[in-house]
Structure 1
């Protein structure tokens, strides 16, 4: 075995046992991963300055990959997601400072303008969803 890998293997085994973070293969793995992601989200790990932000993002990627394989969502665009979230939170176009003015929101909803990376960051933080939900 490569000498560089031995400590990684040892740490990985311990990390998996403690955290439950691993490749998601079963519904039980999925539940464990989403529970941990929720706890990290509640702790503020979506904030890039949070010390566990990277862990949260890796876990989100694992959950997203499992979702895409087991629960594919066809035809849901970022704009569709935005409309859904606005409806669920009873928001009007002028109540989304993460995007900007009501006219900018209107242009995005009508397809004349695209969501930017900054819009998506702000929206995912506000609504507690993965940025991947808007892609």
Structure 2
């Protein structure tokens, strides 16, 4: 890759991209809602394929959402596993009540920290509990 970037050429391209996608630091709750919807659409497009080109945008949009949430909806620090444990308790669920994640054994391994959640599981948990995908990442 060329180390020299032609900024004069880059800026009009960036402005077109930004105005088309609205991908930028999140300004308010309405922009947050649009970015969350965009994240969901990108995840749908990638369909669990970690090498899909949409995953690079997932990282960027996810970071923007995470920054906004940290500033506007601060939560105590918790891992995705801790969030899952909390939600299970709040909803009175057992490990076997999460078939969308996998078998009871798979859920047990995730809760024990022996296995990470994958994109499909994160999406399923987000939809099941009505929380942001970032909750489990």
Q: TM-score, length-normalised on structure 2?
A: 0.67
Structure 1 residues without counterparts, runs of 5 or longer: none
Structure 2 residues without counterparts, runs of 5 or longer: 127-131
Give 1:5 shift: 1.0
1:59 aligns with 2:61: yes
Question: 2:95 pairs with 92, 102, 125, which one?
Answer: 92
Distance change in 2, residues 1:22/1:115 (3 Å): farther
Distance change in 2, residues 1:37/1:108 (3 Å): closer
What's the Cα RMSD here?
A: 3.4
Question: 1:120 pairs with 113, 117, 122, which one?
Answer: 117
- After the TM superposition, which parts of structure 1 deviate over 4 Å for at least 4 consecutive aligned residues? 85-88, 93-96
Give 1:68 shift: 0.6
Give 1:125 shift: 4.7
Alignment partners' CA distance in 2, 1:26 and 1:15: 20
1:9 aligns with 2:21: no
- In the alignment, what sits opposite 1:101? 105
Q: State the aligned residue count.
A: 125
Contact 2:26-2:68 at 8 Å conserved across structures: yes
Distance change in 2, residues 1:19/1:75 (3 Å): closer
